[in-house]
Homo-oligomer: A and B are copies of this chain.
Amino acid sequence: MDVRKLLEEVKTGEMDLERAEALLKDLPYEDLGYAKLDHHRALRSGFGETVFCQSKPDEYLVQIFKKFYERDGEVLGTRASEEQFRLVKALVPEVSYDPVSRILKVEKPGKEHTGLIAVCTGGTADIPVAEEAAQTAEYFGCAVDRIYDVGVAGIHRLLSQRERIMKANCIVAVAGMEGALGTVIAGLADAPVIAVPTSVGYGASFHGLSALLTMLNSCANGISVVNIDNGYGAGYLATQINRLAVK
């Protein structure tokens, strides 16, 4: 809404006072662009809506998934079960499912992947979380290099991948147990490192708390942390950073 134009119309009498007052009543949100943000944020920002599937009631999940798909032509669902996949597929036959990352999606074909994000894991058990991150970033248009099983207990495995890691605009470091992967990578590379603690481990790992604390206390520079097992959050944030570099 153009406030100046409204005022001019009030002055000239083209718009009566009642209508002007009514329009201005909604101004706060329209002027802030909130409503537009709401309807168009995904298009403007380049991030489509995402559905966190876990624990969503079946009917609700299916409807929301269908609605987003019909509106945007694509949709990304995270933490979906095989059962949810079957339910959604009945309504949206185009949907595909990856049991490792638990990602359920319809994706527009021919998407270009730009820039570069490196996704690294400490062990093979961290791969599901890493794939959630990698596939999220790919869905949002990033090129991703997967560098798995390079944990610090065998440091040569990581060192031999140094050059691949150094090429990325942003690095996602996924690790459970002692969780030191992020620190060593941040010490080697210049790009920002997003550390993802995983709940992989037992005993005093306390379901990922150990890896989380390790990552928060990293003595390397250029590292930050997301929630335990939050591959999606890391993939999203890595995409934002990669876009800044690509722009």
Q: Does chain B have a CB within 8 A of A169? A: yes
Q: Which of A80-88, A106-114, A146-154 contacts B (4 or more CB under 8 A)?
A: A146-154
Copy number in the complex reads 8
Complex alpha-carbon distance, A8 and B13, angstroms: 11
Given contacts A187-B155, A237-B222, contact A205 B180 (CB under 8 A): no
With an 8 Å Cβ cutoff, the count of chain A residues facing the other chain is: 99
Interface residues of A (CB under 8 A from B): 3-4, 7-8, 10-11, 13, 17, 20-21, 24-25, 27-29, 31-32, 34-35, 37-38, 45, 47, 50, 54-56, 60, 122-125, 151-157, 159-160, 162, 169-170, 177-180, 183-184, 186-188, 190-192, 194, 197, 199-230, 233-234, 236-237, 240-241, 244-245, 247
Nearest 6 interchain pairs by C-beta: A203-B228, A180-B180, A34-B156, A224-B224, A28-B28, A210-B213
